[in-house]
Structure 1
Amino acid sequence: MNKPISRLTPVILAGGKSSRMGQDKAFVKLGNQPMIEVILAKLLPLFCLPPLIITNQPEKYTYLGLQVQVDRLPRMGPLSGIHAGLYYASSPFIFLVGCDHPLLNSAVICYMQNQIADYDIIVPDYDGYRHPLHAIYSRNCMNAIEVMLGQDNRKLTDIFGKVKVRYIQSDEFEGIPDAGQSFVNVNTPADLAKVQTFFNKGDLG
């Protein structure tokens, strides 16, 4: 990539309970860095706009010196985090990623942003799994989210049926080395141990 991405704000969603991990996923160590800092190291050179963190515990993240905001529609799950990201972002689109995706691939993200056209959501459909927490969202999604949450519908993937979505299939990423790593998320100690091997080997693609 020659130029940083200018039309998206990177948004990190850090509101999960981390119940399966047994500790806050954002701060588990990979190598000698907390996972949140590993993710930031990938995002900072990739985007013109600084990352925005959405969390229900903002005091944990102030040391990073970035904009940290809480959900405007609290206790409503990831949809409310996406809504907050869109509300506070200074751009019409956001690249949203969970705080448990430490193997982000810059080429994957660049390919995704090149697919925006007139779509409201760009979401990978990789190896049969959709990845709504590694996706691009337009501000046009805000109204649909508000309607859904007003009806107490918190199912994240239901938003796909209410706006214009571009699904990126696995074969579109075939020319990108290690593209699948970008979608790996760390939910359990076993996941952490597996991802840790990449950092021990320095094999981060």
Structure 2
Amino acid sequence: MIKTSDIETFILAGGKSSRMGDDKGMLRVNGKHLIEFTIEPLKKSGLNPKIIANNESYKIFGLEVFPDEVKGKGPIGGLLTSMVNCKRDHLLLISCDMPFISEDSVAYLLAESEDGKICVSSDGEKINPLFAIYPVTILGFVNSRINENKLKMTELILSSDHRVINMSAMLKNNPYLFLNINTRSDFENLRHSLNK
């Protein structure tokens, strides 16, 4: 188990999405920015998230915003930036485009995590590197992979000491828990599901 007091949380907002054509965290649905659906359950869980983004507009949420240390490297670059700015031993990395993340899922991830390991959520079939806990001790390894242009997060996890946390049981009450908003179609489906 990792306590909320032993962890810092970073939301990966990135920038303009090639598939969406916009900075998706700033898209609005039901009067809220997409990223707010991630910020709210984190705050309710006792976490004080920070944002990794190259867009200063994210400062409107009153949270610290850090630009990428190394630009153009995708999520692993965001992980590196999070680690460089993390003042604790572990960090929770989460994507800005998972609007159905809940307090329960955050609590479960923390409860099942082990000190010193990458602890990555799974829907029972695939792991989700962008809802995972990373020990800051692997900063050097992350940096070396970026320098070698080995940018795949799944490969980073599988080549490190890690634990997969199966959250498939949570999908009964929250079937969209792992839903990512990657395309305009995903965004329209989100809008539709929230208005049911």
Q: Same fold (TM over 0.5)?
A: yes
* 8 Å Cα contact 2:11/2:94 also seen in 1: yes
Q: Give secondary structure in 2 for the equivalent of 1:12.
A: strand
Q: Are 1:70 and 2:63 an aligned pair?
A: no
The within-5 A match list for 1:78-117 is 78-117=75-114
- 1:100 corresponds to which letter in structure 2? D
Change in CA separation of 1:198 and 1:10 when aligned onto 2, cut-off 3 Å? farther
Could you report, residue by residue, the CA deviation over 1:78-118 in whole angstroms, capped at 9, with x for unpaired residues?
Answer: 11101111221232111111111111121111111112223
Query: 1:139 aligns to what?
Result: 136
Query: 2:52 aligns to what?
Result: 54
Distance 1:74 1:175 in 2: 35
The within-5 A match list for 1:166-177 is 166-170=163-167, 173-174=168-169, 177=172
Change in CA separation of 1:176 and 1:125 when aligned onto 2, cut-off 3 Å? closer
The within-5 A match list for 1:124-135 is 124-135=121-132
Q: CA deviation at 1:127?
A: 4.0
Q: CA deviation at 1:66?
A: 1.1
Q: CA deviation at 1:178?
A: 2.7
Q: Are 1:188 and 2:186 an aligned pair?
A: no
Change in CA separation of 1:143 and 1:179 when aligned onto 2, cut-off 3 Å? farther
Change in CA separation of 1:174 and 1:161 when aligned onto 2, cut-off 3 Å? closer
Query: 2:30 aligns to what?
Result: 31
Distance 1:11 1:140 in 2: 16
TM-score, normalisation: structure 1: 0.86
Change in CA separation of 1:34 and 1:65 when aligned onto 2, cut-off 3 Å? same
> Percent identity at matched positions?
28
Distance 2:130 2:170 in 1: 22
- 2:51 corresponds to which letter in structure 1? I
* 8 Å Cα contact 1:120/1:141 also seen in 2: no
- 2:183 corresponds to which letter in structure 1? T
- 2:191 corresponds to which letter in structure 1? Q
* 8 Å Cα contact 2:13/2:53 also seen in 1: yes
TM-score, normalisation: structure 2: 0.89
Q: Which runs of 5+ in 2 are unaligned?
A: none
Distance 1:52 1:144 in 2: 23
* 8 Å Cα contact 1:121/1:165 also seen in 2: yes
Q: CA deviation at 1:168?
A: 1.7
Distance 2:170 2:178 in 1: 16
* 8 Å Cα contact 1:27/1:34 also seen in 2: yes
Distance 1:66 1:82 in 2: 18
More deviation in 176-185 or 125-134? 176-185
